[in-house]
Amino acid sequence: MTIVSAFLVPGSPLPYLRPDNPPWSKLASGYRAAARALAASRPDVILLYSTQWGAVMDQLWQTRPTLKGTHIDENWYEYGDLEFDLRIDTELARACVSGSKNIGISSKGVDYSEFPIDTGTCVANGFLNAQGRLPLVLGSNNYYHSYDETQRLGEMAVSCAHKLSRRVAVVAVGGLSGSIFRKEIDIRNDGLTSLEDDHWNRKILSLLEHGDHTGLTKAIPNFASEAKADMGFKHFAWLDGAMGGGFHSARIHAYGATYGAGAAVVEFKI
């Protein structure tokens, strides 16, 4: 089996930097549960797509062997810095560059020592791969790619991993409903910005739990528009393409708010 585990996780730094805050501690705890499940699946590499690594021209893939530094989040800098120390599976990353072109998507590798690493990648790696034991393959979120194109990229990346005999954990980093509080709040009382957003988040999570592919196909376009879902929920497109639509259920390790926006830690049963 090429895919040994799959997860949808939030990219907000708040649960990572302030796990002591009660509304965010549930998400941090869910992330730790996902980390245990990922480790137990014994992958060779983590295949990771973050909505926060934005690209506008080509599909980008990290091809530099190691990346180390400090990232400061653009919005939540007052909560602390994000240290990262990443190893890249360069062989698989380069295969994904070629594979993207083979499915008609312009692509290139990124190999710059000071290339900025996004918050979502830092947070997901920090929680799921804290000791840096596993190498990564990092794919960008091209803002102009459709949901379908993103699905095809996920499918292609797993196909490349299969050809190289890699066991992969697939991780999609992104949120649920996208509205945040525009005024300062008491973070101890964080919650969803509206009952409507909460309703939509819970509906999507229920569909994921039950492996209802038909229901998801119908619901996601409305979820994206009515709940302002993070990047149109394209991170799930990546994950669904990678799994070949083959998950039969999901476990919700945590659901909550990150300054009003929806966030969840989800483990897929494949």
pLDDT score recorded for residue 246: 83
Q: Mind listing the pLDDT tens digit for each residue in 3-57?
A: 999 999 999 999 999 999 999 999 999 999 999 999 999 999 999 999 999 999 9
What's the number of domains the chain is made of? 1
Residue with tokens 């708040």: 14
Which pLDDT belongs to residue 159? 97
How confident is the model over 119-169, as pLDDT tens digits? 999 999 999 999 899 999 999 999 999 999 999 999 999 999 999 999 999
Domain with 63, as residue range(s), is 3-269
pLDDT digits (tens, 9 = 90+) for 161-216: 999 999 999 999 999 999 999 999 999 999 999 999 999 999 999 999 999 999 99
**82 vs 70: CA distance, rounded Å:** 6
Model pLDDT, residue 99:
97
| Residue 218 to residue 76: CA distance in whole angstroms | 34
The alpha carbon of residue 189 and the mean position of all alpha carbons in its chain are separated, in whole angstroms, by 26
> CATH number, domain at 246?
3.40.830.10
pTM given for the model: 0.96
**Residue 225, exposed/middle/buried by CB under 10 A (0-12, 13-18, 19+)?**
exposed
- What pLDDT is stored for residue 232 in this prediction? 96
pLDDT of the residue at 245: 78
d(CA 74, CA 11): 13
Residue 113 has pLDDT above 90, yes or no: no
Residue 114 has pLDDT above 90, yes or no: no
Task: Give the residue among 28, 84, 222, 233 at the shortest CA–CA distance from 151.
Answer: 233
**Residues 223-248: tens digit of each pLDDT:** 999 999 999 999 999 999 999 978 99
Give me the sign of the Cα torsion angle 88, 89, 90, 92: negative
Ranges of H-type helices in 18-118: 22-40, 90-102
Instruction: Quickly state the pLDDT bin for 1 (edges 50, 70, 90).
Output: confident
The pLDDT, as a whole number, for residue 77 is 94
Are 261 and 175 spatial neighbours (Cβ–Cβ below 8 Å)? yes
Exposure letters 120-147 (e unless 16+ CB within 10 A, then b) = bbbbbbbbbbeeeebbbbbbbbbeebeb
- Given this model, what pLDDT does residue 92 score? 98
